[in-house]
Structure 1
């Protein structure tokens, strides 16, 4: 997803999760059906790279992470929205956000909250990359700002050393 490196199966899981969450939110599709279709059919035909040289056929989807992200977001949506609302400016709520922005923020917030093996900087960078794939305006900047605020709360230990001018020893 990043311009600096090739997408990974985890990158693919993040992108697919956002797309699945968008479909579930917009159409009201059955979660199990959407998960099954992405894993068995849809992902294979999605171009992943900007120039279509990297396709889903060459980039395997991390099915476990994909499923965990989608189900986790749906199970904890109320809590995630409350966290996101706390990171938005006072006059904004998740309900006011465009659906795709909401899906990106929810998926990233869930990952920051529950998947501690994913490095914070990687999580933020990859979800900003997802936003850049869909938006050309200020949306990726908004997403980056909200995710940075969330990360400082959800993974405060990673930022403690940086506040004192040194790198944290925490991975």
Structure 2
């Protein structure tokens, strides 16, 4: 998908049919990316996605529109809190602003769901956003998403994991490179 700034923000592969929340998550990541890159207002981006893109872009067909809206509006409302949560799980010296804008949108979306959508299991959130990261990146970025979201999930939803976070061993190569000092999930 080509955005107004000339960047291609589309995933590398199509999603399987029949996954409304997966499609909504992908659309939310792309909407957040668009808002950041073009400085467009939330209401305009929501209108564009809900009024046009969901009808004309095949990869969004069947997306859960209310779930999409909840993610995007929730991040817009709570971005400062979400960014602090992400920053708390990055390695010392790393800043969220140093991370690729698509990766930042993926992390924000995942952290929003982990902190504000307790109706979605933490492991499902992590898996979904790792898969979205794989659609956009061929390198170590999916491991970074996995590491950061796993640490947030263990801190915020430890009951779902049956133990406190603590992890074994040291940080992964990807986690160290991109600023996350946790072990992978």
Bin the TM-score by the shorter chain: 0.7 to 0.9
Q: What TM-score comes out, normalization by structure 1 length? A: 0.82
Counterpart mapping for 1:11-160 below 5 A: 11-48=22-59, 56=60, 59-160=61-162
How big is each residue's C-alpha offset from its partner over 1:125-155, in whole Å with a ceiling of 9 and x where there is no partner?
A: 1111111111111111111110000100111
> CA–CA distance in 2 between the matches of 1:6 and 1:27?
30
* Structure 1 unmatched ranges of 5 or more: 49-55, 164-171
Q: Normalization by structure 2: what TM-score?
A: 0.76
Q: Secondary structure at the match of 1:147?
A: helix
Q: 1:161 to 1:91 in 2, by over 3 A?
A: closer
Q: How many residues align?
A: 152
Q: Measure the CA separation in 1 of the matches of 2:91 and 2:163.
A: 26
Structure 2 gaps of 5+ residues are 1-13, 166-185
Pair 1:7–1:155, CA change in 2 (3 A): farther
Structure 1 residue runs of 4+, over 3 Å off? none
